[in-house]
Chain A
Amino acid sequence: NAGVTQTPKFQVLKTGQSMTLQCAQDMNHEYMSWYRQDPGMGLRLIHYSVGAGITDQGEVPNGYNVSRSTTEDFPLRLLSAAPSQTSVYFCASSYDTGTKDTQYFGPGTRLTVL
């Protein structure tokens, strides 16, 4: 199993550009989530999904969209990038809801918005 994969590893955007961070898992996990990690702050939940077709907002959802059309994929879209979105983004998945099962994390995407 590849586990949780994320692409790209690094990305530089200009303010106002859009892009999609990709996340995929091959473990048939129902629960998937996106986090951002900023210096001096803990990981913060952006959006999460409890299954295909179901998504919900986390702690810091503004500026981000998600969809879950398949069990395997959970892309994160930035519609109009802002410097405040410069961060490291992690995708994670688990069998059950986030708090009841081991979380598997992707390798992260380091995003810089100029």
Chain B
Amino acid sequence: KNEVEQSPQNLTAQEGEFITINCSYSVGISALHWLQQHPGGGIVSLFMLSSGKKKHGRLIATINIQEKHSSLHITASHPRDSAVYICAAGNKLTFGGGTRVLVKP
């Protein structure tokens, strides 16, 4: 069993739809990271959170420490949100396999 697991692996949505990506982890954490990797390959940090909820624009990240679970939500999705979203946790950052999101116009 991987220490950090994401679901789904792939997700296709129509523009405007609400998207949820899930991340479960079994490692101890001080913070959980959400990253975005665009088709060009570059990786950008979206959120780092250790409790509760964070919001940036149309992106919302939540974490439940007791359940060892985090979610990334995209509200009013747009084709430019098409990317791979990756969660990471643990003392030396173990990464999930990523969720490939495609938003169709």
Contact = CB atoms under 8 A, between A and B. Distances in A.
A35 B33 CA distance: 15
B30 A99 contact: yes
A54 B96 CA distance: 27
Interface residues of B, number: 25
A100 B30 contact: yes
Interface stretch (B10-18, B40-48, B56-64, B74-82): B40-48
Contacts of A92: 43
Interface residues on A, range: 20 to 34
Contact of B31 (A41, A42, A58, A100): A100
B26 to A, nearest CB: 14
A101 B93 CA distance: 11
Contact of A42 (B42, B44, B45, B98): B98
Interface string A66-96: 0000000000000000000000101010000
B33 A58 contact: no
Contact of B42 (A45, A97, A105): A105
A44 B92 CA distance: 10
Interface of A: 33, 35, 40-45, 48, 58-59, 88, 90, 92, 97-105, 107-108, 110
Given A99-B31, A105-B42, 16 more contacts: A44-B95, A45-B92, A90-B43, A92-B43, A98-B91, A98-B93, A99-B90, A99-B92, A99-B93, A101-B48, A102-B45, A103-B35, A104-B45, A105-B35, A105-B45, A107-B42
